[in-house]
Chain A
Amino acid sequence: AQKITQTQPGMFVQEKEAVTLDCTYDTSDPSYGLFWYKQPSSGEMIFLIYQGSYDQQNATEGRYSLNFQKARKSANLVISASQLGDSAMYFCAMREASTDSWGKLQFGAGTQVVVTP
C-alpha cells in the first residue's frame, strides 16, 4: 500500500506567490519523521525541511514551512514568495521508527513545480 501520497503531479505558480504542496501519509507507528526534498533537473536531492511526529510546532526553514496536521495525517509544504530557482520536483518522504522500517525513507511520487515570471 502506498504510504506517501502526493496528489498534485504538477503545478504552475507565479513568481513571488506562495504555493502549497500536498502530502498525506499512512502509518500506524507513533514515532515517525516527515521530510521534504527538492530535486532540480540536475537530479540531486536537496533537503528542505523535517517534522518529527512528536514535534509540537510546525517546522520552518526560511521560506519553507510545513503545515503538519497529525490527526489528518497531512504534512503539506508551503513555499512563500516563490522564486524562479524554486522550479523543481518536490518529494515528500517518511521514516518510521519500527524495527522493520529501520532508517528507510519512503517517498511519494512527487510534484513538479514550475515558477513563471
Chain B
Amino acid sequence: DGGITQSPKYLFRKEGQNVTLSCEQNLNHDAMYWYRQDPGQGLRLIYYSQIVNDFQKGDIAEGYSVSREKKESFPLTVTSAQKNPTAFYLCASSIPPGGYGYTFGSGTRLTVV
C-alpha cells in the first residue's frame, strides 16, 4: 500500500545533539513537507520541497535542516541550534498544486532529555 513512513515513532535527544528524523513516501508525490506541532496547537511549516534537490524554508526553519536527494525521501535534521525542539513532527506529501491529495505520516515525537 502507498503511504508515508516516518521513523522513529519516539526519539529522545540530549541537549546539544543533532538528530535526524526520517520520512519516506512511495506515492510518487513530487512535493514533501515537514510540520511541527506543539501541545494543543496547530501545525507550523518548517521546510518544504517541490522537487528533488530543491527545498524552501517555511515559517519556522531556524534550527532545522533538510535534504531532498531522492524523490522518495525528505529527512529532517533538528540541530543543536533549535532551542526548544521538544514537539511532534509530521511529514506530508502531495501531488502538484491544484489538487487536494495531501498524505501525512504518523509522526515522530521528539523529546529533549
Contacts and interface: CB of A to CB of B under 8 A. Distances in A.
B24 to A, nearest CB: 16
Interface of B: 31, 33, 35, 40-45, 48, 50, 58, 88, 90, 92, 94, 96-98, 100, 102, 104, 106-107, 109
A76 to B, nearest CB: 17
B51 to A, nearest CB: 11
A108 B102 CA distance: 17
A62 to B, nearest CB: 17
A73 B94 CA distance: 25
Contacts of B45: 104-106
Contact of B48 (A33, A103, A109): A103
A44 B106 contact: yes
Given A103-B94, A105-B33, A109-B41, A44 B104 contact: yes
B107 A103 contact: no
B42 A108 contact: yes
Given A97-B98, A103-B97, A91 B42 contact: yes
Given A44-B106, A102-B50, A104-B33, A109 B96 contact: no
A103 B88 contact: no
Interface of A: 4, 9, 33, 35, 42-45, 47, 50, 52, 91, 93, 95, 97, 102-110, 112
Nearest to A109: B42
27 contacts: A9-B40, A35-B100, A42-B106, A43-B109, A45-B90, A47-B102, A52-B100, A91-B43, A93-B43, A97-B97, A97-B98, A102-B50, A102-B97, A103-B33, A103-B96, A103-B97, A104-B45, A104-B58, A105-B45, A106-B45, A107-B35, A107-B42, A108-B42, A109-B41, A110-B41, A110-B42, A112-B40
Contacts of A106: 45
B47 to A, nearest CB: 11
Contact of A44 (B33, B48, B107, B109): B107
A107 B102 contact: no
A47 B104 CA distance: 9
